[in-house]
Amino acid sequence: MRCEVCGAELKATKTDLPFKVRDAGIVILKSLPVFQCASCPQYLIEDAVLARVDKTLAFLGKLKAKQIDSSEGRTITLKFPSMTLNFTAQEYLQGFVMTNFYFHVSMVYAILRHNGVEIGKRDYLGGGGPRPQRRKVSKKKKR
Ligand SMILES: [Zn+2]
């Protein structure tokens, strides 16, 4: 299978991907099987996986606030091959999920900028509008 953007080979892997569920809300689905391009950020998601994503998003969309409220003290346990991490739900969200999310977003920006894409902090923050033009500043001559 080839990348439709650059033509490089797509390789099967698993990754975490954000999906928009509301105007101001996203969820990150972890360990989704995708075909990732070896040379650019392009990836493909199989129909069966997208069907699972749709089912998950539909479930999340039906949750009521009262089902989530007051769960900040709930225990969250993450098991990795080399360790187990225990959090309260609030610690998990604020200290693990959000820091991982912003880490990955900023890494994407760094990779894109390194490869010549003209994006900046304003793009990261979601601000649109015209970008200020760079001016050449000449040094003042000493009197
Ligand atoms: Zn590609």
pLDDT tens, position by position, 33-52: 999 999 998 889 888 888 98
Asked whether residue 91 is assigned to any structural domain, the reply reads yes
Instruction: DSSP for 57-119, please give it.
Output: HHHHHH--HHHHTT-TTSEEEEE-SS-EEEEEHHHIIIIIIHHHHHHHHHHHHHHHHHTT---
Ligand 1 centroid to residue 3 C-alpha, Å: 5
Residue 114 has pLDDT above 80, yes or no: yes
Same domain, 28 and 84: no
CATH number at residue 111: 1.20.120.450
Ligand 1 centroid to residue 111 C-alpha, Å: 14
Ligand 1 centroid to residue 52 C-alpha, Å: 25
Contact 10, 1 (CB under 8 A): yes
Same domain, 89 and 123: yes
Report the DSSP pairing between strands 25-37 and 43-44. antiparallel
Same domain, 57 and 9: yes
83, two tokens: 């360790």
Ligand 1 centroid to residue 2 C-alpha, Å: 8
Asked whether residue 16 is assigned to any structural domain, the reply reads yes
Ligand 1 centroid to residue 108 C-alpha, Å: 15
Range of the domain at 16: 1-63
Identity of the amino acid at 118: E
CATH number at residue 8: 3.10.20.860
Determine the average pLDDT of the residues in 74-101.
93
**pLDDT band with cut points at 50, 70 and 90 for residue 6:** very high
Residue 12 has pLDDT above 90, yes or no: yes
Strand partners, 25: 22
- Domain count for the chain, please give it: 2
